[in-house]
Amino acid sequence: MERRTIGAGALGVGAVGLGCMPMSWAYSGSRQRGEASLRTVHAALDQGTTLLDTADMYGPFTNELLVGRVLKERRGEAFVSTKCGLLVGDQHIVANGRPGYVRRACDASLRRLQTDTIDLYQLHRADPEVPIEETWGAMADLVTAGKVRALGLCAVGARARRRTGGGLHDTTIRQLERVQQVFPVAAVEAELSVWSPEALEALLPWCAARGVGFLAAMPLGNGFLTGTLTPGQGFEPDDVRARHPRFTAEMMAANQPLVVGLRRVAARHGATPAQVALAWVLAQGPQVVPIPGAKRERWARENAGAAGVRLTARDLAEIAALPPAQGSWD
């Protein structure tokens, strides 16, 4: 698989990563048998997918334990990204950016992951009660201590935090400008897909201008862009899509032209709609690494195959001409 670099430190990873969250969190059947999830991670590594993206809150904690079982056997083949900053309670998820917590969270993640070093340690959310510089300073100390190789900022929740006025990622960019004064940002993780391209407006250009890597979260639109979901299908209560405005029967039907367009391009390449959707993300810049989630071996292999799909100027123009996605994404 093609290799890409993240940040000024030139951290090398396979062009397509693996989002491990769906194995433990947020989707129907996430708490599947551990052995099936292990096979999925091993299959991804076998295909040249090296970046494994997880977080302490997924499960919580069980996703890191799962990844740790793989790292114990194949640490030299993997690049592990995990996150701190969110605590999961019975009813709420709350941010915690206190320096003492950050240090304890890192040590706990290292134990669960069965490794001495985390390749990329990301702040999952900024704590509104703690200056982000203090949180970032504690994370920088972890780099100095040799527990972490590089730092990143996760902006996946930007939509939920947006208030009226301003761009989608204005707050994230202001945070990035602040923490850059403390310690270099190696990567930003944010949503980017054919049906959610807003990061192209300002956030991705900000990263490109500064040599900051970009991890594209939800590059398959929570599975919609794979073409395997049908309008009106139900989702289990524990699946985030059951409460998602774009996954009502009406909105899924309204957005079918996106899938039809991806299928048309895919047919020319002997590929799947999912692979074309990922190839589109890869085409947005050499520092962009999509991290599609996968629960099954076959999906991990299919996603990895997107690294070999080379979209032409005609393909990209055709995708650009597709109608924008309908429905609220908040």
For the four alpha carbons of 127, 131, 133 and 134, in that order, the dihedral sign comes to negative
Query: What element of type H or E holds 82?
Result: strand 79-84
Which of the listed CATH numbers 3.30.110.40, 3.40.50.12280, 3.20.20.100, 2.130.10.10 matches domain 3-221+281-309? 3.20.20.100
58 belongs to the catalytic site: yes
Q: Give DSSP secondary structure letters for 83-94.
A: EESEEE-SS-EE
Cβ burial 288-302 (10 Å sphere, 16+ → b, else e): bbbbbbbbbbebbbb
Token output for 312? 């032409």
Residue 7 to residue 257: CA distance in whole angstroms: 36
Residue 230 to residue 110: CA distance in whole angstroms: 40
CA-closest candidate to residue 222, choices 292, 304, 327, 299: 292
State how far Cα 110 lies from the chain centre: 20
Go through the chain and tell me how many residues it has. Answer: 330
- Please identify which of the residues 27, 58, 101, 121 carries the catalytic annotation: 58
pLDDT digits (tens, 9 = 90+) for 40-65: 999 999 999 999 999 999 999 999 99
Token output for 189? 């993780």
Q: What angle do CA 117, 189, 264 make, to 5 degrees?
A: 125
Tokens 């190789």: give the residue: 149
In order along its 330 residues, the chain shows pLDDT tens digits of 999 999 877 789 999 999 999 998 777 665 555 899 999 999 999 999 999 999 999 999 999 999 999 999 999 999 999 999 999 987 789 999 999 999 999 999 999 999 999 999 999 999 999 999 999 999 999 999 999 999 999 986 555 444 444 577 899 999 999 999 999 999 999 999 999 999 999 999 999 999 999 999 999 999 999 999 988 888 888 788 888 889 999 999 999 999 999 999 999 999 999 999 999 999 999 999 999 999 999 999 999 999 999 999 999 999 999 999 998 765
Domain borders along the chain are: 3-221+281-309
- Write the CB contacts of 43 (distance below 8 Å, at least 6 apart in sequence): 297, 300, 301
